[in-house]
């Protein structure tokens, strides 16, 4: 079983006896939340309420922001998800900070970072293999679509 706390860029493969079989570490950005991060999140949240429309969108946004601004954390998690690919490669989903793109990092059996998968906004990785990815995305009117895409190497 893979375990991690999300407090640092490290995860461990732990066996049935509780001993660590493998440890993967990688470098990532500083985890501290900055005023710029909070501002980007606030702007994004406000934009979602504006797009949602309604005569009272601004009041609804203000109520939500008053509540959320009180519980803003001091640090980001290092990552937000793990998927084991069909080929045994471990994919780690980098924590999606406000205004950033969704990235997944692939680690081979030796713990080496071998690939990066960048997904468009409003796209979720569902499954992955050595040369394909199954994703779900939302279009501009929030219709869900599932698609299989070929993975290609950077040139």
| 34-57 pLDDT tens trace | 999 999 999 989 998 988 788 899
Tens of pLDDT along the chain (155 residues) come to 899 988 999 999 999 999 999 999 999 999 999 999 999 999 989 998 988 788 899 999 999 999 999 998 999 999 999 999 888 899 999 998 877 888 999 999 888 999 999 998 888 999 999 889 999 998 878 899 999 988 877 65
Q: What is the pLDDT of residue 62?
A: 94
Question: Measured between alpha carbons, how far is 23 from 104 in angstroms, rounded to an integer?
Answer: 18
Computed on alpha carbons and rounded to an integer, the radius of gyration of the chain in Å comes to 18
DSSP 101: P
- For the chain, the domains span 2-30+73-150, 35-69
Q: What is the pLDDT of residue 140?
A: 79
The stretches of the chain forming alpha helices (DSSP H) are: 35-52, 57-69
What's the predicted TM-score (pTM) here? 0.82
Q: Where are the beta strands (DSSP E) in the chain?
A: 2-3, 10-14, 20-25, 79-84, 90-94, 102-107, 113-119, 123-128, 132-138, 144-150
């Amino acid at each position: 079983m893979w375990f991690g706390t999300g407090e640092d860029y490290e995860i461990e493969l732990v066996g049935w006896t509780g001993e660590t079989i493998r440890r993967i570490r990688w470098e990532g950005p500083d985890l501290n939340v900055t005023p710029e991060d909070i501002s980007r999140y606030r702007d994004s949240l406000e934009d979602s309420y504006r797009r949602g429309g309604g005569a009272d969108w601004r009041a609804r946004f203000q109520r939500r922001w008053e509540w959320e601004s009180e519980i803003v954390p001091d640090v980001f998690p290092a990552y937000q998800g793990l998927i084991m690919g069909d080929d045994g490669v471990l994919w780690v989903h980098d924590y999606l900070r406000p205004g950033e793109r969704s990235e997944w990092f692939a680690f081979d059996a030796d713990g080496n970072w071998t690939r990066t998968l960048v997904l468009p906004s409003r796209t979720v990785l569902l499954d992955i293999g050595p040369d394909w990815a199954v994703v779900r995305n939302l279009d501009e009117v929030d219709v869900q679509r599932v698609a299989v895409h070929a993975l290609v190497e950077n040139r």
